[in-house]
Structure 1
Amino acid sequence: MSLPIIAFDLDGTLVDTAPDLIATLNWVFAERGLPPVTYEEARSMIGAGVKPLLKRGLTAQGITLPEPELEALYNTYLERYAAHIADTSRPFPGLIAALDRLEADGYSFAVATNKLEWLSVKLLDELDLSRRFKAICGQDTFGVPKPNPEMLRKTIAKAGGDPARAIMVGDSEADFRVAQNAGLPVIAVDFGYTPRPVQEFGPDIIISHYDALPGAVAELTAQFAKV
């Protein structure tokens, strides 16, 4: 029986993207004469895509922009962020070694993120990570974002896997919900961006470092074998 595909979230799971996302947020705010958002406050706003990040940043300061102005801010953000997407963003500690070990064991990987696909590919290209994933899919790839289970199922299928036999790895509520909605197990990393403890979302396994990922994957794979 084939091994399950491992589908990863991107921001806050594979890569610590907060420094570049927040630097871009405060740069576009400064360009519009708006006050900055603190790093810690902005970190918990990451995870649903750029436009929600902008809206959360504005809301935190009691600012509401008309839709045309928000759209202009969004476009400015995308242009700036794309140019600085990997200035300081880096894979989380232990990720590369964990992927090497799992790949040697025969596992394949995919990315299922609410980041736009082209930005996801660009980031992973610049970090020399794209080649490791059979599919890199964003909220726009299939027209549905997480936690819609079709986003995860279609990502797994695109990676050549069985949508009924896969493992999700993520850090946010959307990651846990998409896996649960698709009837798949989920591994939570507790070093991501969600402001709530990951235990509250009921993941199957929680890890605090990527050193623990191969063991967690092996445990869930064994459960598939029993079905």
Structure 2
Amino acid sequence: MRRLASIVVAVALACAAVALQGAHWSYERAYGPFVENGRIGRTLTEPRFTIRVEQVQTARSIRVPEGPYGAKPQIIPAGGVFAVVIATVAARRSPVYVASATLHTAYGDYYPTDKLGGGILSQPLVTPLSYLRFQPGMPRRGVYLFDVPARALAGARLYVSDRDTEDAEFGFYRNDPVRFSDEAHVDLGISAADAVRLDHTAAQGYGLPGPS
């Protein structure tokens, strides 16, 4: 009888330990972003910024115009296809970067391509939204650019979050989550048939629009 009671107590403790482990929050869950969900064509309003994704286009290659000091135009090919996500972003109350961008797909997460160049001390000749510091009352229209396999477009969602300009002025170069940041998840509305169409109609030498 005593042995049976010991077994029951041991099983109960084991179950409690498993339950406690399952209840333990990860760092990202405890301190990660506050998420707002939306879809293409609608404005998502976060405490520090708004975003409206207007359109998704695709390209096999990007044409970069001639640059300063006699730099010649370039044609930059995609590894798969370039997903050109056209959006309008605005700061609400204070300057903000909306720079932590991810294309979330069934095949994994993709980050803005680095094929346009740029770095900590310089920007690409064609500036994507990831590099901009938004000012209140001054919405900017531009693009987030991803190099992805065409099959990954179906069901893709754009994730973007703000960065505190005081605490992380160069936050778009950091992969660590900013505590309690605001994150917008935008369903791009791409079906499997849409993904096939976007693959077949991807442009050659696409002229990437700069922010306006």
Q: Is the structural similarity TM-score above 0.5?
A: no
Specify the structure having the higher radius of gyration (Cα). Answer: 2
- Give the TM interval when normalised to the shorter protein: under 0.3
Higher percent of residues as helix: 1
